Structure 1
Amino acid sequence: MDGVTTDPAERRLPRRTILVAGAGIPGLVLALALKQAHGESLDVLVCDPALPAGAHRHRGRAYAVASAGRRLLTRLGLWSGIAGAAEPIRDMTISDSRLSDPVRPVFLTFAQDADAGETAPFAHMVEAEPLVAALLSACAAAGVRLEASGVVEAVPAGGALSVRRDDGSVVAACLVVAADGARSRLREAAKIGWVGWSYPQVGIVATVAHERPHHGRAIEHFLPSGPFAILPLVDGGSLGHRSSIVWTERSADATALLGGTDEDTLDEVERRFGAGLGRIALEGAPRPYPLAFGIARAFQAERLALLGDAAHVIHPIAGQGLNLGLADVAALAEAVTDALRLGMDPGGRDVLLAYERSRRFDTLAMATATDGLNRLFSNDILPLRLLRDLGLGLVDRLPRLKRRFIGQASGEASGEGKALPRLLRGEPL
């Protein structure tokens, strides 16, 4: 096949081969979008050593997909296949209290306003396993090459990148997309700086079965150790109904909270979950993961674009991590497609700088907002509690401001007054 050889000196340097390093959701969505738009005229290769595990490695995870992301998935023909695994979020309540408080007062609510013409849900909770399975199937059907190999390095060579993989083979590509996670090997190899820090918190995710229906309501309890979110999933499970929890806890306390028996762990979840949905049961063991903040100093280098967590990592307090990645996908796919249709080099510097400009402001704004919210709410300082509760109450009484927040969270608004990329508007590339 053109562009694949074990000898870098003998390879052809293809101008229409794009390699995506990483088979997470953003990487697969980008590969599918580009292949659907350009067909046989573009060779798209996804490399990830974890590909043999397929979608099973994502079991137990769920993501909030904003309405703009839903339009993107619909445009790519994916939504109809995963709609059965997607639960609409129709309203949301926010409370702020201590764990020992007998009552958790609700300070802010978001709900659809039929009088204002709001009919679509703010977002959908989508389980990761069926989404990834649908992506892998669609990529294979479209002709994306899916290969279980890791990328070791990507070196500029003669107007392309020479990409060495862990099986010893070398691929030449006009553009390499680093979608290889927060500890991106390609980002480090390109000497792109990283500004970030670790939070003294862990995120704990689990699926909880419960007796009573959630009616599509998301609940966020702000507790001194961090937010505890209850997010609606499609019905099922041992008690008939299910929700996903995203539990932020102090790192120093997490081991003790999760290190006991299953009954001890369930007791800790119940204390935070509350009694509103009746009796609960854990559908699998809660899984902790470290929380961090990070933004790359640049989103591109020579013939290299950073995507998703390789470009930015944010606190899960607003559930916007995947939506930022999908926005990256829409912007990069549009920049590459416009370049190809104009006969330009899709890995050229101007193309990648345009992608970077389109994403940097929105990413920084969201990262700063989530970091600030976590710092404001993850404490038990009385003056701050009074100030933030007053602020939540004021927002609750200002419909225009509430709609603005909803617009940002649903991906309907873009920073600096820019138009959304075409895929996020549900339009073809």
Structure 2
Amino acid sequence: MSAATAMERPRIVIAGGGLAGLSLSLALKKALADGIDVVMCDPALRRDPHGDKRSYAIAAAARRMLEALEIWAQVADKAQPILDMVITDSRLQDPVRPTFLTFGGDVDGHEPFAHMITAGDLTAALLEACREAGVDLRSEGVAGFAVHGARTDISLANGDSLQGSLLVAADGACSRLREQAGIGWIAWPYRQSGIVATIAHERDHEGKAIEHFLPSGPFAILPLKPESQADGSLKHRSSIVWTERSENVPALLESHPEDLLVELERRFGLQLGKLTFETKPQAFPLSFGVARSFVGERLALLGDAAHVIHPIAGQGLNLGLHDAAALAEIITDAMRLGMDPGAADVLDRYERARRTDITTMGVMTDGLNRLFSNDVLPVRLIRDLGLGLVDRMPGLKRFFIREAAGIRERQPKLLRGEGL
């Protein structure tokens, strides 16, 4: 296609094939069809998506978005609704972990506030839908870009080049495109690591999620869909997010499997019977990071390229999906008015739409982690009193449930379950 033809039909190039980038690609093609070219570039597209065994919590607003994109029906039978949430606060050696706060899993009494789903299942469904919608999927990374007036020249890792109206950097927290654009990054480490794994257990979790606040960090048990076995029985499973001081992690992961299982049982408890590791535990350093701007010249940052938060509230992926919903709506509205989707005033709308939400969530998760990841007695007494008060105030509990579900008064159409 010639440069002139490319500019007659705007082209959006998305660098990064994660869940946020895939959702944005699909949303744009569904809304604008042949009126736009969408190209996704990521070497990870060469891999089988089902190999990704990580699990994510999909909040109610993000689920509504997936329904609007006609994806949820394809994965609903693989998703486990969270029907109840229990929060405890104790020391690791305490014989009893008192429950300070419980949440019913429903938003407004009719839908679960979140579902757990395996990343591979959701990625595979989104990839297939993108192919069917006409997204150009390329298994090459974006090496760089240069802006020339109303177009961006984009170079790929294999030497090919593209021209586009807008480049979307969805290339992760260490985004090279963000760095090339000269966009600053405010960040600090937490000196904690998140150990993640899938655990098999004897008894049914009954859809209950548990978060134990321990001095080294939160330990979350998140229910997964049971798997049918050849003998007709069910394998009961949960995902764990085990926050631990970073200096302790190497010794834990290098220990004998039986010793690691003992450490797991100390945190998990034995309420679900015998435990086994279904996947090998993996650790990731935890940090906070946010871009000084979410946009540059003909560039928009998406997902982890724009923000990284502590997993204490399980909102990292959901924030990225909120980015995708907002950017898709802004681009769609602009193009229907005949506007350039990469113009500065269009991108400014995206900056304004996302800045407050991301800042608020970042401050909240950072504060919660600092509040609960310590063993200072006066602080423990104050926070436990606060949890107890929330537990006795139905109106305040409903507010927190809606926040966890990502449901707010003003939000993009897709997050309300509406098409663009």
- Please report the TM-score for the alignment, with normalisation by the length of structure 1: 0.94
Paired residues of 2:114 and 2:405 also in contact (CA < 8 A): yes
Deviates more, 1:72-81 or 1:47-56: 47-56
Q: 2:179 aligns with which of 168, 179, 188?
A: 188
Alpha-carbon displacement from aligned partner over 1:198-253 (angstroms, at most 9, x marks no partner): 11000010000111111111000000000000000001288720000000000000
2:39 corresponds in structure 1 to 45
Runs of 4+ in 1 over 4 A off after TM superposition: 10-15
Paired residues of 2:12 and 2:165 also in contact (CA < 8 A): yes
Alpha-carbon distance between aligned partners in 2 of 1:176 and 1:17, rounded to the nearest angstrom:
9
Alpha-carbon distance between aligned partners in 2 of 1:296 and 1:56, rounded to the nearest angstrom:
31
**Is 2:178 aligned against 1:178?**
no
Amino acid of the structure 2 residue aligned with 1:221: H
1:81 corresponds in structure 2 to 74
Alpha-carbon displacement from aligned partner over 1:333-352 (angstroms, at most 9, x marks no partner): 00000001000011111111
Alpha-carbon displacement from aligned partner over 1:263-285 (angstroms, at most 9, x marks no partner): 11111111110011111111021
Secondary structure at the counterpart of residue 240 of structure 1: strand
Alpha-carbon distance between aligned partners in 2 of 1:411 and 1:94, rounded to the nearest angstrom:
19
**Is 2:128 aligned against 1:137?**
yes
Alpha-carbon distance between aligned partners in 2 of 1:140 and 1:159, rounded to the nearest angstrom:
28
Q: Report matched runs for 1:104-119 at 5 Å.
A: 104-112=97-105, 117-119=108-110
Q: How many corresponding residue pairs? A: 416
Q: Report matched runs for 1:16-415 at 5 Å.
A: 16-58=10-52, 60-112=53-105, 117-236=108-227, 240-413=235-408
Secondary structure at the counterpart of residue 194 of structure 2: strand
RMSD of equivalent CA atoms: 1.5
Alpha-carbon displacement from aligned partner over 1:312-348 (angstroms, at most 9, x marks no partner): 0000000000110111011000000000100001111
Alpha-carbon distance between aligned partners in 1 of 2:194 and 2:51, rounded to the nearest angstrom:
18
- Please report the TM-score for the alignment, with normalisation by the length of structure 2: 0.96
Residue 12 of structure 1 deviates from its aligned partner by 5.5
Secondary structure at the counterpart of residue 47 of structure 2: helix
Q: Could you say if the C-alpha distance between residues 130 and 385 of structure 1 is closer, same or farther in structure 2, counting changes exceeding 3 Å?
A: same
Paired residues of 1:209 and 1:237 also in contact (CA < 8 A): no
Residue 57 of structure 1 deviates from its aligned partner by 4.6
* Structure 2 runs not aligned, ≥5 long: none
Amino acid of the structure 2 residue aligned with 1:367: G
Q: Percent identity?
A: 59
Paired residues of 1:112 and 1:119 also in contact (CA < 8 A): no
Paired residues of 1:13 and 1:158 also in contact (CA < 8 A): no
Alpha-carbon distance between aligned partners in 1 of 2:160 and 2:414, rounded to the nearest angstrom:
34
Paired residues of 1:15 and 1:160 also in contact (CA < 8 A): no
Alpha-carbon distance between aligned partners in 2 of 1:2 and 1:412, rounded to the nearest angstrom:
44
Alpha-carbon distance between aligned partners in 1 of 2:390 and 2:8, rounded to the nearest angstrom:
54
Paired residues of 1:21 and 1:179 also in contact (CA < 8 A): yes
Alpha-carbon displacement from aligned partner over 1:283-313 (angstroms, at most 9, x marks no partner): 0211101111001000001110000000000
Alpha-carbon distance between aligned partners in 2 of 1:273 and 1:377, rounded to the nearest angstrom:
18
Secondary structure at the counterpart of residue 50 of structure 1: helix
Amino acid of the structure 1 residue aligned with 2:35: S
Amino acid of the structure 2 residue aligned with 1:17: R
Alpha-carbon displacement from aligned partner over 1:345-404 (angstroms, at most 9, x marks no partner): 111111110011011001000010000000010111111111110110011011111111
Amino acid of the structure 2 residue aligned with 1:52: R
Amino acid of the structure 1 residue aligned with 2:254: G
Amino acid of the structure 2 residue aligned with 1:316: P
Q: Could you say if the C-alpha distance between residues 199 and 40 of structure 1 is closer, same or farther in structure 2, counting changes exceeding 3 Å?
A: same
Residue 68 of structure 1 deviates from its aligned partner by 0.5
Alpha-carbon distance between aligned partners in 2 of 1:395 and 1:260, rounded to the nearest angstrom:
40
Paired residues of 1:14 and 1:173 also in contact (CA < 8 A): no
* Structure 1 runs not aligned, ≥5 long: 4-9
